[in-house]
Structure 1
Amino acid sequence: MSGMFWSLKAEREEIPVVSAVRRIRTILIAVVLTAVVSLTGLVSQTPAHATAQASASEIIADMGAGWNLGNQLEANSNGVPSETAWGNPAVTQSLIDKVKAAGFKTIRIPVSYLNDIGSGPNYTIDSSWLNRVQQVVDYAYDQGMYVLINMHGDGYKSVGGSWLICDSSDQTTIKAKYQKVWQQIATKFQGYDDHLIMESMNEEFDGQYGNPTQPCYSNINAYNQIFVDTVRQAGGNNSSRWLLVPGWNTNIDYTVGDYGFAIPSDQYRSSSIPSDEKRIMISVHYYDPWDFAGDESGTITQWGPSATNSSKTSTWGQEDYLDGQFKKVHDKFVVQGYPVVVGEYGSIDKSSYDSLNSKCRQDYAHTVTAAAKKYGAAAVYWDNGFNGQYGLGLFDRNTHAVTQQGIIDAIMSGVSG
């Protein structure tokens, strides 16, 4: 999503930061690591968290519970990326440490580039911004966490500086720009191991809520293909890296159904990957039923097994529906060897209207993560950094204190149950 739900995560989205010094990483990933002892007795080593290439089921299990650093690196001011523009303080190592300590093993970092991309034909990303992205990635990656980075607000018509517009007439320019930007990002992170996962884009669609349209969906497929081809050829570990791609608006039905989604081919993948294994993941989001999860009103405040008032409970989207939606992505993709990542889910705080809302939010988080685990997917909670009415925050971004221990406990029980 984009803005404060996004910004408060509105219905379906700087303080300049000192650039991080580029680190030179050499990460050797292999099924067997052979220690070579030199005449001086030195032994070659890899970082403690580096692992051999993981299969689909292994990486999903290892990713565990996920958390979004929302409303930070995708925030912008007048089309210029600015991590403090939407009211959150600059990200620190201490915040990420608290997230890890709470039990999360995966962090998704939405990133916008917007007007920090220079003019063609090179479309050079501002180096200070790309360095800051790397610094925030390192806060989690260096702790052994999985990190997902994407291209977030660049595809929203409502965001200043956006350009990845699937129904724009100038697709030739858009695709050339998209290729150059991902080439730079992938080159920047080429030495990172499987703990870094790249996601092609966020909720890409034409901005109209309804059935997918053409040629917009074909352009989305083309973006995904450019992304896979570009990252694969960018050197280092990119040839075997797990890559995450969405369908139309990351909508489950529009991705699994007969609406036009095409899984990208992977012709440039490393030959070291067994031919019967994939290195592409499918991205979906889950905020159903919207009147409970995202609608900013006090009308629908209850969901699931703890609901006691039918007038405060949505007429659709309960537990059986959720189970059915996750089964769809399992039957369409997981059984083919393509892992699924529920890159965003959550429900806004309406406890000021209904004291039972807090328990229902916990039930919702637990049910999403338990269903994801049941059907071979990983789920990543959307935290927008906002606490209070309509907020989705689990932590106070200023003090780093936990604000929703009940939801965190529900997530962890869903993952471990």
Structure 2
Amino acid sequence: MSTATARRTGVCTFDTLKTGREEIPMISQAGKIRAIFLAVALAVAASVQGLTNQASANTATQANASQIVSDMGAGWNLGNQLEANANGYPSETAWGQPAVTQALIDKVKAAGFKTIRIPVSYLRHIGPGPDYTINSSWLNRIQQVVNYAYSRGLHVVINIHGDGYKTINGSWLICDSSSQTTIKAKYQKVWQQVAYRFKDYDQRLILESMNEEFDGQYGRPTQPCYSNINSYNQIFVDTVRKTGGNNSSRWLLVPGWNTNIDYTAGNYGFALPTDQYRSPSIPSNERRIMISVHYYSPWDFAGEESGSITQWGRAAANPSRTSSWGQEDYLDSQLKMMYDTFVTKGYPVVVGEYGAIDKSSFDPSNNRYRADFARAVTVTAKKYGAAAIYWDNGENGQYGFGLFNRRSYAVTQQGIVDAIMSGVRSAAGSPGVPSGT
């Protein structure tokens, strides 16, 4: 996600709504030190567990496009954790969430989710050039959290998440910066280290090149910014492949401009990366590239922090509380566009984030429509050969996306969870059917 200032027609994405603010205020030096010490302590355990939970490169199975999407099932985002930061230093507790535990991931799996996306920021945990070495304690902790899900048989998606936001301290992956030579060298080195760390994990681990990369302005794509985004994707694919192991055949996930469907599938400058270094064991007629988009439309229902638009879909009871656009027909047309452009050519689509914030304090029926929205996205994604991963920012109550309490591990929105699972089980060809029918 990007910022809460997004107010435009089309697929709107945002990042600060994960926290409800533009960026977390500066914390004290002592607080930062405590956060760093916590990361180091947790990493000690990670360095041991990470070594014991790696998959054997010899046992990796190959899944084609339809199989990988089917196997991913219902997806859930571990938002506001490994992309959180304090003064540019990533720390999973910096935005008010507790440290991630195996018990939390077990609860998510027990609820029926088969894929967990783990957004990751690196920021000032990257050392100086030319090596750009990632802080070993941070990389160990990333691996430990990945293992929480991977060791339970779940699919896992990890990315570079917050490093491309101009509003974040320590950001550097800036597509309209004049320092592209340095940025691309740093990007290559970061992915080389991450890919090497995970090269023996099987295809249940999916690497995603970046998150919502754009120039920070919510308008049409600009150049040379879009060309630089395409270059980042190409560097990512080439770098990961060259690290060998299962990375030579791993599914890799790449976004277009700001993960926007129109600007990715339309004629706005997106270029699919080539895959010349992939394993010769992959059949020539198969792909190993997936396309990432996000879906928060209509924004006034899904993301806008206001109590005016609280209902969505054909079952909406009050037209004055329903957006004038972005209903089931729009959702269908958006994912059909992705299907026609990519899925038909063998490139799976992943709706890496979707969801709607809690406005039940303004309208007691709001959670019913949030569930309808979640089910419709899931059903429509399935209809058009895409996987969908719900955005959970760990926040419950007003404007939160949370499905779980990350301290007690209790399910906080069983109706939305049930709607997602119902959508995954539903028959293809019936998009947008409200959960209440």
Q: Could you tell me the TM-score, scaled by structure 2's length? A: 0.89
Could you tell me how far apart the structure 1 residues matched to 2:21 and 2:362 are?
19
Shift of 1:52: 1.7
**Pairing partner for 2:89 from 80, 90, 93:** 80
1:13-412 matches, cutoff 5 A: 14=35, 16-17=38-39, 18-19=42-43, 20-21=46-47, 22-23=50-51, 25=54, 27-29=56-58, 46=59, 52-412=61-421
- Secondary structure, counterpart of 2:320 in structure 1: helix
Partners of 2:302 and 2:357 within 8 A in 1: yes
Distance 1:198 1:229 in 2: 13
The amino acid that maps onto 1:103 is G
Take 2:314 and 2:325, find their aligned partners in 1: how far apart are those partners?
14
The answer as to 2:19 corresponding to 1:7 is: yes
- Larger CA deviation: 18-27 vs 182-191: 18-27
Q: CA deviation at 1:355?
A: 1.2
**In the TM superposition, what is the alpha-carbon distance from 1:10 to its structure 2 partner?**
6.5
Distance in 2 (CA, whole Å) between partners of 1:94 and 1:87 is 18
Question: Partner amino acid for 1:273?
Answer: I
8 Å Cα contact 2:22-2:167 kept in structure 1: no
- Does structure 1 retain, via aligned residues, the 8 Å contact 2:132–2:189? yes
The CA distance in 2 between the partners of 1:92 and 1:306, in whole Å, is: 38
RMSD: 1.3
Q: Distance in 2 between matches of 1:60 and 1:139?
A: 21
Q: CA deviation at 1:327?
A: 0.3
Shift of 1:27: 1.2
Moved more, 192-201 or 305-314: 305-314
Is there any run of 5+ residues in structure 1 with no aligned partner, and where?
A: 30-45
Structure 1 residue identity aligned to 2:247: N
Work out the number of aligned pairs and report it: 395
> Secondary structure at 1:383's aligned position in 2?
coil
Q: Deviations over 1:326-376 (max 9, x none)?
A: 000000000000000000000000011011211100000000000000000
> Which string of whole-angstrom CA distances, capped at 9 and with x for unpartnered residues, describes residues 126-173 of structure 1?
000000000000000000000000000000000000000000001000
Q: Is the 1:8–1:384 contact (alpha carbons within 8 Å) kept by the matching residues of 2?
A: no
CA contact (8 A) 1:283 1:342 kept: yes
SS state at 2:391 partner: strand
Cα deviation for residue 5 of structure 1 reads: 2.2
- Asked if structure 1 preserves the Cα contact closer than 8 Å seen for 2:164 and 2:174, the reply is yes
Q: Mark the runs of 5 or more structure 2 residues left unpaired by the alignment.
A: 3-14, 24-34, 427-437
The offset of 1:225, in angstroms, is 0.1
Task: State the identity as a percent.
Answer: 73
- Which one-letter code corresponds to 1:355 in the other structure? P
Structure 1 contact 112–151 (Cα < 8 Å) conserved: yes
